[in-house]
Amino acid sequence: MEEKIIIHEVGLRDGLQIEKEIVPFEKKLSWAEKLIESGIDIVQLGSFVNPVKVPQMADTDKLFKYFNENPDKKKNVILSGLVLNEKGLERGIDCGVDLFCMGVSASETHSQKNTGMSRRDALERIVAMGKKALSLNKQVQVSVQSAFGCGYEGNVPESVVYDFVKTFVDNGFKMISLADTAGHADPFKVERMFTHLSTLGKDLEFACHFHNTYGLGLTNCYAALKSGVKYFESAFGGLGGCPFTKLSGGNVSTDDLVHLLQRMSKRKDVLLEKIIELSKEAEEFFKREMESKIYKTGSIPS
């Protein structure tokens, strides 16, 4: 039996963190409910960061509490949250995060700009945080950011990425993501790296997170799919981008990703029209065209 592809929608976090216009709580709640209704598997509600530095994420705790206090609204979705430090982890535990996402950059420059720490110190910190979350029976996904290249440094040695992933595996982590923070990935590198990592253990589950900075996002998703990757992170409308990279590009669009999968006879259970509707709402709210293609054209008739 073919393994199910899991869609991890990160628009409410990665999609919004770079936006200057604050999305009100009620609007975020409406958008989250639409994503849940669409049949998406995992919805990332936000990140537990300093609300002064990232005011867009100031209501993350409130969003999680709402859904945990209203389980009928949550349905079967997994709610994930990004944590960067111990304080964020404590906040996430208190408000009921299902899946903790945490990562370290393979780029020294990006690590310093993103966390103020060296990549080795950040790795040590993330391992300790992840193990604490696992000890509380929480799901944990650890990631290597700038895994395919860095906007500041250019090439990132694959050996560094492999070393970090091995450290994660050696410390008991099973769900591991490679994030293309700068959008430097290409399908050949994607296939090569994930194929290599698959040799580290049969019980590992890999995720991918691509940015469409140079237009290769969906192509890289296809390469990851061919390489056995199970989890795909994307954002409605193609929103997003890392504020701590040199040239920021949006995420792979969930609309476009779902359309691709459905053209391949996968994930036909996901209600694509719900995601298209949401992307149109985002266009209206931000008063600009979204990066997604499918929300403009509609899907190809079957």
| Residues with active-site annotation | 242
Question: Under DSSP, is residue 15 helix (H, G, I), strand (E, B) or coil?
Answer: helix
Residue 34 phi/psi, 5-degree rounding, is -65, -40
SS3 labels along 108-138: HHHHHHHHCCCHHHHHHHHHHHHHHHHHCCC
CA contacts within 13 A on the Cβ side of 202: 0
Amino acid letter, residue 293:
K
- Distances in Å between the Cα of 44 and the Cα atoms of 13, 127, 197, 274 are 6, 21, 25, 17
DSSP designation for 148: T
d(CA 262, CA 7): 13
The Cβ of residue 111 has, within 10 Å, a number of other Cβ atoms equal to 23
User: How far apart, in whole angstroms, are the C-alpha atoms of residue 134 and residue 168?
Assistant: 13
Helical packing angle, 119-135 and 108-115, nearest 10°:
60
DSSP 8-state code for residue 150: B
Q: With DSSP H G I counted as helix, E B as strand and the rest as coil, what are the percentages for the chain, rounded to 5? A: 45, 20, 35
Q: DSSP class of residue 5?
A: P
Tokens found for residue 27 = 């609007």
Token pair in block for residue 129: 């945080």
Alpha-helical regions (H) of 39-80: 60-69, 71-74
